[in-house]
Structure 1
């Protein structure tokens, strides 16, 4: 991959990462609730999902998902249902007392949550299938180029999501009383429910 091509992809990856979405909401929500180190587990799940999606695109299955309305809709509604379920869980969790959340941290659960938030979003695969070919040189080894794209994309997204989580963690001391905990849980619950509704209503384009 030529340097100019990589720099162009780097810019695209930064713009995509800083755009607010379910991944940013997950990072901030876990950061507020459990702290930065716990948020890193969710971020690890987000990045694992991105690598799986990129592998699907590299294997050519992304084009199949783009072409199949049925497959796309199944994935879309599964993703929407998961986001809405997350939102309802956060909304109902509004009465948890401050301090209890530290004991409730489950590393596997946070990783899986991040993994499923990205993995059940078919628009991400369709977007990658449309974006990545523009940065692939067919005259050079493609898997090496996909590896560079994956490393760049996950590196940028990890930094940005870590920034969101760290910012949220800094706000924890001001949001430790029950009323503030209730407000922030319902805020993020509303974001996840809204994201799920938007995903359910969206098309492939």
Structure 2
């Protein structure tokens, strides 16, 4: 194992493979279905508010998103939403749960390279069955030394994961596209946080970059990760 850094955690959605764009496409469909009842901006605000309320009830992922869309549709139509619209929203969710997985550039190369010298762990939020499906379809599953599907990513969660799968957070790195979920809590736990911008970020995942921390790094894409790890070593 390497000296300073022994464990590297990878986020899944929008770090290793595309995900957010399917939510955006479905939200556009939702807006079109309800255009006779509310303006697009108003619908977006109401849906985001519903998602914020419902995270504690449903967690992260497609199923919670669909339930939030249905709840919002009922609210903006004052319970008059046509049954066919509800059916369409359910169908849209089922389609999201069947979208093929498309890896992001350098994803396989990055995981393979680091798996040869470090413990690599997949750490992701979301629905258990859907995340397992995506990992299986990605073809990356056999590369990871461990997989953790969690309900939330907090400093305590990272501390526990890196204690189980490595030598503690102080000798671990988390790589992901979410400042709020991947970078900030890992640094708070004592590890390195590496931000890989994706372009499409769910509003709830926004946070300020911990730019003052010596353990914060940002790379343009996963093709730069191996060099960054070598520099830290």
Common fold, TM-score beyond 0.5? no
Which has a greater percent of helix?
1
- Between 1 and 2, higher relative CO (CA 8 Å, sep ≥ 6) is seen in 1
Give the TM-score normalised by structure 2: 0.27
Bigger Rg, which one: 2
With normalisation by structure 1, the TM-score equals 0.29
More strand by share: 2
